[in-house]
Structure 1
Amino acid sequence: MSLVSADLGDGTYRNPVLDADWSDPDVLRVGDDFYLTASSFGRAPGLPLLHSRDLVNWTLVGHALERLEPEAGFAAPRHDCGVWAPSLRHHDDRFWIFWGDPDQGVFQVNAPGVHGPWTRPHLVKEGKGLIDPCPLWDDETGEAYLVHAWARSRSGIKNRLTGHRMHPDGTTVLDEGKVIVDADRIPGWFTLEGPKLYRHDGWFWILAPAGGVETGWQGAFRSRGFFGPYEEKVVLEQKDTGVNGPHQGGWVRTPSGEDWFLHFQQRGAYGRVVHLQPMRWGGGEGWPVIGDDGAPVAVHRKPDLPPQPPAAPATDDDFPGGRYGRQWQWTANAQEGWATQHSADGLRLTCVRSAHAHDLRRLPNVLTQRLPGRPCAVEVELRLTSEEPGARAGLAVLGDAFCWIGLQRGADGTVRLVHRFAETGGETERDAGHPRPAPEGWARLRIEIGAGARCRFSYDLGDGARPSGQVFAATPWRWVGALLGLFALAPTGQGHAGAATFTQFRINPL
């Protein structure tokens, strides 16, 4: 089963509606269906696609980007690179997603339907530090526009938004661009980013956050002309709530005319969780009012939409026929043979040979999913069949620091239960718990994840569950929340290194 839905079952919902790292969300309605995409950085497949009928209950229905390009550039993990802050739009009977790769430029893919087929990535504007792009096809004038922000780490520029005229076919920009909002000129504003571009009531609107992901606010900008001048207003901020830095998101309108805003909140190791806020137009000379008079809501009535069954993105997996579900992503572009299909259930991972076998952060062949934002227990069964001395497989919590528990084949041919970790900045693993014999080559592994992403590891070798090691506090990556990971490895050498099989992966609320 999936983790608990945000739907409280009494006509209300509780934030966050997506309680895991669905970073930098953007939302779209087509007919009676709502769709959401999010940043996927260096993981593959990328650009997740979520579907809902009520903006509260969401399911993961696919990905728009099978592999990151260039292939060689993402053959190894680049956890804070790749797909940053996508925008999702529907135009000319096609779905469009634009995103910024901070090292390459602005890309887009498009498809006739959300399930594809999606085009190969197309480079719309080349350049370093171009991030958070958003297109607009203006039905009133027939013009097309593109706005984007800047990453100072690549360009030396930040706190401003640049606008372009764009070819209506979405393939290229038509001018050199103009700074349309320079937040250095707005007292107290810094780190303006994440623009979403709209037309409403005769105005061009840009909804964009500033002030940093942990402490900032959501701004609105409006102008009668796309290239400005724009006036600004803060429309959502923490105030006296527990929702720090309500950040980047998107506006959507229901068929009945209700307005809603989805945005993220940075929550450390849990990543960027997604909140749903009521929204209305007309507060103070036509500006949008988001949340409870500009403050995030914790519990609210659901949108006026047909009732839906409770749902949340899938987490559990029985790996039928060796196949893994949509919730899993590799830490880089996948290679043939990392996971093999077979007639029985269970995920069979090849023990891939690597010179970096003792640092999971540097391995591309770790199969991951998001760390849940609520207390839970993660369990999986593991059988190590590789006869290779040094072969290992396990269940990991992966971030700037990592910790894993699993099985390892010794030089004498025996299998042992091992529990190891590495600190942030540490280059070598150390024992986190005492090794012990696993004569059957089998173990049931468990991690209880409590408040503050504090992880307690345990195992069962067939003689009852036993705790292992000290509590491990999960850590995020630079822009990404911590991940749960399954892996199988072997030291460098020649020939086939065998495999490990995982079965009955479960995540249950605590």
Structure 2
Amino acid sequence: MIRPATLGFALATGLIAAALPAQVWRSDQGDGTYRNPVLFADYPDPDIIRVGEDFYFVSTIFANAPGVTILHSKDLVNWRIATHVVDWLDGDPRYDLKDGGDYRRGFYAASLRRHKGLFYLAVTPVGHKTRIYRSARIDGPWTYKELGREAFDPALFIDADGTAYLGTSIGMDGTVTLLTLNEDLSAVTAAKVTYYNKGAEGSKIIRHNGFYYLFNAIPGKLAMTISRSRSLWGPWETKPSIDDKTGGHQGAIVDMPDGSWYGFVMVDAGAIGRMTNISPIFWKDGWPWWGTPDKPDFVPDRSPKPIAGHAFAEPPSSDDFSAPTLGLQWQWNHNPDDSKWSLTQRPGFLRLHATQADGIWTARNTLTQKAQGPMMRAIVKLDMAGIEAGDVCGLGSFGKYNAQLSVVGSVKGARSLRMQLTESTQNGPRTDIRVPAIPVTGRTLWLRADMDFQTQQGRVGYSLDNRTWQDVGDAFPLAFDWRTGTFQGQQIAISCYNPAPTGGYLDVDNFTLAPLSVGVQP
């Protein structure tokens, strides 16, 4: 069904220039306070450290490339992307989207520390041995040594005497093991069980005022526990802490320059994925408590900024593709085929050559970035001149549900629009063609994808002039499903593929991400 836009979404502000950032969600309220989450997007399994006056935040990326994203902030509220540690996912052919790819696996929860003038990052690609990356600078270059074993969700901890450890546990067991590392953190020298905490994983370890504190996620209950001991080897005493109803279930705490403490914690939030909340911490009876003394163990929705005076900042989103490299906001679904994309073949455009695939789930060179909530609109301006017979090139959502509005080329040179919804299931992707083909002429076309994470629905539409818009099809669902989806929140995807080994290309002029408001027509 084709009709004028009736979704009830509109840009909260006028369309902005493609190169400008999009403030879909603003945590910093501009009055000395912030509201949670600090990023309304899928930044799961957080680990945050402070180095002087700088905070660094590392998050899980699964099989997106480049990978292992690190963000930087001066105040724990306003974040920018600093770097991706892993330029290319190596060590497994599935990272190249072979043999069904490595969906729901890849590079899980990383742990970041600073030690003797170097940054160290521990991360375990699922099914492979743990890696310790190191670099003198947060933006690299990074190199790694592989340890002799797989440590699930490694917790890197440097003790006061300089000895380095990795804590590891997995929720189906809950046995917390400490691996002792050698001096340059390149090998395991000993392994010893330190604690059993049923269902525990995602451990974090800190030391404060003579105690070791062990933070554990209990995913089965979406809850967190805190344990403490005078020795790394126990005995440990444990108390329950927050859960997803009161703030989150996986994270830890970080010290501030003035000696105070703040907490960071992940919360499951539906189709947007798993987001990170920041909370003040107060100490009572030798324990860290989330929130404030008048409302303990509750992450506030709004609170004074941890550090005042820093300006608004956010990860980039919109792009006019005029730079010689892709912006840090972009990640490929698995490793790309670098012969099939270019920013230089037509300067000012991203060129995506059609890759051979039977659908977006198997298509290499699908370019993604995180969807943003609570309500967003993505628009791409396309040049269709290079699209050839069989090419399927367009924009849409990517995740559990992949709703793609694509330009399809025909043998007669004509082009049409097709809206299809692909659901990832335990039996593989299932595709539903939602509307009959819509003929399009000319070479310039705008496509848009709206996502409302309050209603968990989205829509797609098109325009021939960027003024008059047509919705295509009905609303489609948005969802998070770690069993059959990507284990990520919904992503925005630009793709171009062809079932045949030959094909043309799609030129993307610009991409704009902006917020939506309710009840106003575009």
Q: Same fold (TM over 0.5)?
A: yes
> What is the CA deviation profile of residues 30-66 of structure 1, one whole-angstrom value per residue up to 9, with x for unaligned ones?
1111111100111111111111111101011211111
Number of the residue aligned with 1:188: none
Alpha-carbon distance, 1:280 to partner: 2.1
Moved more, 322-331 or 310-319: 322-331
Number of the residue aligned with 2:302: 299
Number of the residue aligned with 1:187: none
Number of the residue aligned with 2:10: none
Number of the residue aligned with 1:460: 463
* Contact 1:33/1:53 (<8 A) preserved: yes
Residue 347 of structure 1 pairs with residue 350 of structure 2: yes
Aligned residue for 1:372, secondary structure, equals coil
Alpha-carbon distance, 1:442 to partner: 2.9
Aligned residue for 1:51, secondary structure, equals strand
Number of the residue aligned with 2:213: 205
Number of the residue aligned with 1:82: 106
Alignment of 1:343-492 (within 5 A): 344-352=347-355, 354=356, 356-358=357-359, 360-425=360-425, 427-450=429-452, 451-462=454-465, 464-478=468-482, 479-492=487-500
Number of the residue aligned with 2:277: 275
Alpha-carbon distance, 1:441 to partner: 3.4
> What is the CA deviation profile of residues 169-227 of structure 1, one whole-angstrom value per residue up to 9, with x for unaligned ones?
1111112x22222123xxxxxx2111111111112211112143xx4222111112212
Number of the residue aligned with 2:510: 504
Counterparts in 2 of 1:51 and 1:504: CA distance versus 1, 3 Å: same
Choose from 41, 52, 59 the match for 1:38: 59
State the one-letter code of the partner of 1:357.
D
Number of the residue aligned with 1:97: 121
Alpha-carbon distance, 1:144 to partner: 2.2
> What is the CA deviation profile of residues 473-496 of structure 1, one whole-angstrom value per residue up to 9, with x for unaligned ones?
1222412112111111122235xx
State the one-letter code of the partner of 1:325.
G
Unaligned runs of 5+ in 1: 153-157, 185-190
Alignment partners' CA distance in 2, 1:237 and 1:159: 18
Alpha-carbon distance, 1:69 to partner: 2.0
Highest relative contact order (Cα 8 Å, sep 6+), 1 or 2?
2
> What is the CA deviation profile of residues 407-450 of structure 1, one whole-angstrom value per residue up to 9, with x for unaligned ones?
11012210111111123426453322332111113321112212
Alignment partners' CA distance in 2, 1:266 and 1:413: 46
* Contact 1:87/1:133 (<8 A) preserved: yes
Aligned residue for 1:269, secondary structure, equals helix
Residue 49 of structure 1 pairs with residue 70 of structure 2: yes
Alpha-carbon distance, 1:306 to partner: 4.2
* Contact 1:406/1:443 (<8 A) preserved: no
Alignment partners' CA distance in 2, 1:238 and 1:321: 40
> What is the CA deviation profile of residues 325-353 of structure 1, one whole-angstrom value per residue up to 9, with x for unaligned ones?
1111111122222321225312111111x
State the one-letter code of the partner of 2:193.
V
Alignment partners' CA distance in 2, 1:277 and 1:306: 15
Residue 221 of structure 1 pairs with residue 227 of structure 2: yes
> What is the CA deviation profile of residues 284-314 of structure 1, one whole-angstrom value per residue up to 9, with x for unaligned ones?
x2011112411121001111x2411111211
State the one-letter code of the partner of 1:100.
T
Choose from 307, 313, 335 the match for 2:337: 335
- Which portions of structure 1, spanning 4 or more consecutive aligned residues, are displaced by more than 6 angstroms? none
Alignment partners' CA distance in 2, 1:481 and 1:57: 21
Aligned residue for 2:296, secondary structure, equals coil
Alignment partners' CA distance in 1, 2:262 and 2:147: 30
* Contact 2:267/2:274 (<8 A) preserved: yes
Choose from 73, 87, 91 the match for 1:70: 91
Q: Percent identity?
A: 29
Alignment partners' CA distance in 2, 1:18 and 1:296: 15
> What is the CA deviation profile of residues 102-143 of structure 1, one whole-angstrom value per residue up to 9, with x for unaligned ones?
301321111001011111x3222424xx3111122212x332
* Contact 1:322/1:348 (<8 A) preserved: no
* Contact 1:322/1:339 (<8 A) preserved: no
Residue 180 of structure 1 pairs with residue 194 of structure 2: yes
Counterparts in 2 of 1:269 and 1:387: CA distance versus 1, 3 Å: closer
Alignment partners' CA distance in 2, 1:335 and 1:471: 33
Alignment partners' CA distance in 1, 2:440 and 2:315: 34
Aligned length: 480
Counterparts in 2 of 1:117 and 1:211: CA distance versus 1, 3 Å: closer
Counterparts in 2 of 1:288 and 1:387: CA distance versus 1, 3 Å: closer
Aligned residue for 1:150, secondary structure, equals coil
Aligned residue for 1:194, secondary structure, equals strand
Alpha-carbon distance, 1:275 to partner: 0.4
Alpha-carbon distance, 1:395 to partner: 0.5
Aligned residue for 2:154, secondary structure, equals strand
Alignment partners' CA distance in 2, 1:198 and 1:124: 22
* Contact 1:2/1:313 (<8 A) preserved: no
Number of the residue aligned with 1:230: 236
State the one-letter code of the partner of 1:42.
A
Counterparts in 2 of 1:35 and 1:387: CA distance versus 1, 3 Å: closer
Alignment partners' CA distance in 1, 2:236 and 2:171: 22
* Contact 1:87/1:134 (<8 A) preserved: yes
Number of the residue aligned with 2:17: none
Counterparts in 2 of 1:452 and 1:180: CA distance versus 1, 3 Å: farther
Number of the residue aligned with 1:309: 311
> What is the CA deviation profile of residues 236-274 of structure 1, one whole-angstrom value per residue up to 9, with x for unaligned ones?
2356x5x4xx12123211111120011111112111111
* Contact 2:178/2:193 (<8 A) preserved: yes
Alignment of 1:92-171 (within 5 A): 92-119=116-143, 121-127=144-150, 130-139=151-160, 141-150=161-170, 152=172, 158-171=173-186
